[in-house]
Chains A and B, each alone.
Chain A
Amino acid sequence: MNKRKLRDLIGTKLMLIATLFVSLLFFLIFVLLLFRSGLVLQDNSLFDILFSSTWNPDNSQFGLAPIIIGTILVTGIALLIAIPISLLSAIYIAEYAPWKIRRILRPFIDVLAGVPSVVYGLCAFLFLVPLTKDVIAPWFGVQSTGLCIFTAAVILAVMVFPIIISLCIESFNAVPLALKEASLSVGATKWETVKKVVFRASTPSVIAAILLGFGRAFGETIAINMVIGGIPRIPSSVFSPGETLASLIASKYGELMSIPVHESALMLVALILFVVVLVFNILGVFILRRAKRRWTY
């Protein structure tokens, strides 16, 4: 009996240690990034860094404005493309598609969610970049090398499709059949049922899916780094090269890590990524709580 009690005690403590390790990790990353980015904040104010528009570490100018604009543009365009297309596809698969097609598409989309981002990057580099350079940019009457914000946003949208679609299908399927039947029985068309019943009943989970897609798009590093061109200037159009926060770290860390101030500037970039993810998670919790209260059935 004693042996079992002892094992219970030790096992429980080990589990507690693992749990504390995770919360400690969370704070450790935050504190370490804050501590290491202190050096660059000594000479430059945070305001200057966030809003000045020249990134030139050799002159100790660490303006992040072009990179932040690049990040917002890439993520924003990607989500603008991805959200309507994914929602409509999810509705089609969940409500309209014949059962056979549904059975083929579901596992297909789940597999896609697992494809590594570097593979998406490779395909974008070899297919989408020449396409943008030779076909799409000339359509709009712009010269472009193909390595640009537009290309990055498109490949990002493709990466986000499977995430939003599979989560949305799940939440659409969770809407009780009785609700849909009630709507159909009073003469609503199928689309009206979808619009006014299915969408409304699953709004909280759709918001959660979109936030998850946003997180993936915002933090994507490698695929974007491969196709965005990597020039930290304020982009003049969507067909000009740019840079995003995460991709900046990947492309510049190797050359900047030897000088403490430069390294510290990149730590600040990592800290910004961390804080934005944190803020959006907190926002997500509040939005979901409100949405759940409002759209209960």
Chain B
Amino acid sequence: MDVLNRRTVEEKIFKLFMIVSICIVIGSLVIIFGLVIINGASSISIEMITQTPTPGNALGGGILNAIIGSLLLALPATGLACIIGIGIALYLQKEFSHPGFANFIRFTLDVLWGIPSIVYGIFCLMIMIALGMGSSLLVGIFALTLLEIPIITRYMDEAIKMVPIGLKESAFSLGSTKFETAIRIVRRQAFPGILAGILLGLGRGIGDAASILFTAGFSNRIPTSLFDSTAALPTMIFNLYSLPSGQPKAYAAAFILLVVVLLISIISRVLSKRFMKHVIR
């Protein structure tokens, strides 16, 4: 009886610990969401999202330049990373590359995933200076592409690994080439996973500040060419957070980022459900 008591007491204690820790997790997350939503909703207005900063006063006006800048940086970067990523992920299949080689590439991708984004920023900066360019939209896109490639590729790879071998074999037996099988059959079968990877990469790219801090620079105007420097939502927050008069803008930018992240997550759920219909199980 004594032993039994000790065991039930232990059970109760740990259950208490669990509830306390889940309360800590949820509490901290509610605080973060609450802060951003309450402050962001109060500082966001039509002017805020439709105007660029007034000339001569970076704190006046709105944050349109950062919104457009973020889109111009993250969308092309995700597109590029997606094209390169799908190529790599399809090539890692057994038909194309030796398993040892594929595992080595997976390992490099994991390391690249772990590398802090500031290192990508520095790396692109070095190339930029070597080529005699200044901080610009183009270099920012390049830095974000490098950052997103490992994320997108690893997700695609996991999805492609799940494609049943029988499906590929039936495509081969009907006379399709390896490339046709990869691009028409495997790609389609793995599409929900591929899509989730792309959206995850987009979310990561749109929120990253460290890699574009030096490469995309900062500007109060909307960029008109690939060689203009540009602001983005994360760098906008980073530049304004410490000034009390800049905090409304920082909160508005954070609010928009949060909404984008939520939207991406919802879109990912909806689309993957829709594309699941085309998947052969």
Contact = CB atoms under 8 A, between A and B. Distances in A.
B177 A158 contact: no
Contact of A21 (B84, B104, B208): B84
A132 interface: no
Nearest to B20: A88
Given A8-B177, A111-B262, A114-B265, A23 B247 contact: no
Given A29-B123, A253-B214, A277-B116, A118 B254 contact: yes
A280 interface: yes
Contacts of B207: 114-119
B140 interface: no
B280 interface: no
A102 B131 CA distance: 53
A61 to B, nearest CB: 22
B206 interface: yes
A249 B122 CA distance: 9
B87 interface: yes
Interface in A176-210: 189-192
Contacts of B165: none
B201 to A, nearest CB: 11
B111 A278 contact: yes
B172 interface: no
Contacts of A141: none
Interface stretch (A38-46, A214-222, A234-242): A214-222
Given A19-B88, A23-B108, A219-B117, A250 B96 contact: no
Interface in B108-142: 108-119, 122-123, 125-126
Contact of A126 (B17, B87, B247): B247
Contact of B209 (A14, A15, A21, A118): A118
Contacts of A161: 25, 28-29
Contacts of A125: 241-242
Given A114-B264, A191-B15, A250-B118, A22 B251 contact: no
A92 B18 contact: yes
A33 B123 contact: yes
Interface in A20-55: 21-23, 25-26, 29, 32-33, 36
Nearest to A281: B111
B115 A88 contact: no
A171 interface: no
A12 B178 contact: yes
A280 B114 contact: yes
A223 to B, nearest CB: 9
A289 B210 CA distance: 33
Contacts of A21: 84
A226 interface: yes
A15 B114 contact: no
Contacts of A151: none
Contacts of A121: 237-238, 241
A18 B87 contact: yes
Contacts of B92: 19
A96 B111 contact: no
Given A16-B91, A125-B241, A221 B117 contact: yes
Contacts of B112: 22, 25-26
B35 A123 contact: yes
Interface in B77-108: 84, 87-88, 90-92, 96-97, 104-105, 107-108
25 contacts: A12-B91, A12-B179, A18-B87, A22-B105, A32-B123, A85-B21, A88-B21, A92-B18, A92-B21, A111-B261, A115-B257, A117-B209, A119-B254, A119-B257, A126-B247, A165-B25, A191-B10, A192-B7, A219-B116, A266-B122, A273-B116, A277-B114, A277-B115, A278-B111, A285-B107
Please give me the 5 A-B residue pairs with the lowest Cβ-Cβ distance, nearest first.
A116-B207, A219-B116, A18-B87, A11-B179, A8-B177
